[in-house]
């Protein structure tokens, strides 16, 4: 994946239900191992990225629950609204990413 940025999130293990501190990797905005949390604004030299909404492909760094060793879901969708990280959810459909931007993210068109 080369360089990437990081997003810190909390995940609920589907097996033991414990809260886990997770780190997602993604490639959007200026890419240089920046660390974000939900609600942060993405650093970007491309000002058009602050005007539009994007769905960004994310992958979980450690996908084994530290408490019960269950396999966790590895792939997530991050919603970026007008430059700000709004929401993260389990990835629904990877095929949407295959169309553009090397699979890293897509622009959401109304
Ligand atoms: Zn667990």
Q: How far is the CA of 18 from the centre of ligand 1 (A)?
A: 6
Residue 80 CA from chain centroid, whole number: 9
**CB contact at 8 A, 75 and 59:** yes
Q: How far is the CA of 59 from the centre of ligand 1 (A)?
A: 18
Q: What is the SS3 assignment for 52?
A: coil
pTM equals 0.93
Element at 58 (helix H, strand E)? strand 53-60
**CB contact at 8 A, 13 and 20:** yes
Q: How far is the CA of 19 from the centre of ligand 1 (A)?
A: 8
Confidence of residue 18 (pLDDT cuts 50, 70, 90): very high
Q: How far is the CA of 64 from the centre of ligand 1 (A)?
A: 8
Confidence of residue 27 (pLDDT cuts 50, 70, 90): very high
pLDDT at 100: 86
């Amino acid at each position: 994946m080369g360089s990437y940025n990081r997003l810190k999130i909390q995940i609920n293990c589907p097996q033991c239900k414990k809260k886990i501190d997770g780190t997602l990797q993604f490639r959007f905005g200026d890419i240089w191992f920046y660390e974000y949390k939900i609600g942060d604004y993405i650093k970007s030299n491309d000002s058009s990225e602050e005007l539009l909404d994007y769905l960004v492909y994310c992958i979980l760094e450690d996908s084994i629950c530290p408490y019960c060793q269950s396999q966790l879901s590895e792939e997530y969708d991050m919603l970026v609204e007008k430059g700000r990280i709004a929401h993260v959810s389990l990835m629904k459909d990877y095929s949407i990413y295959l169309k553009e931007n090397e699979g890293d993210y897509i622009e959401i068109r109304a």
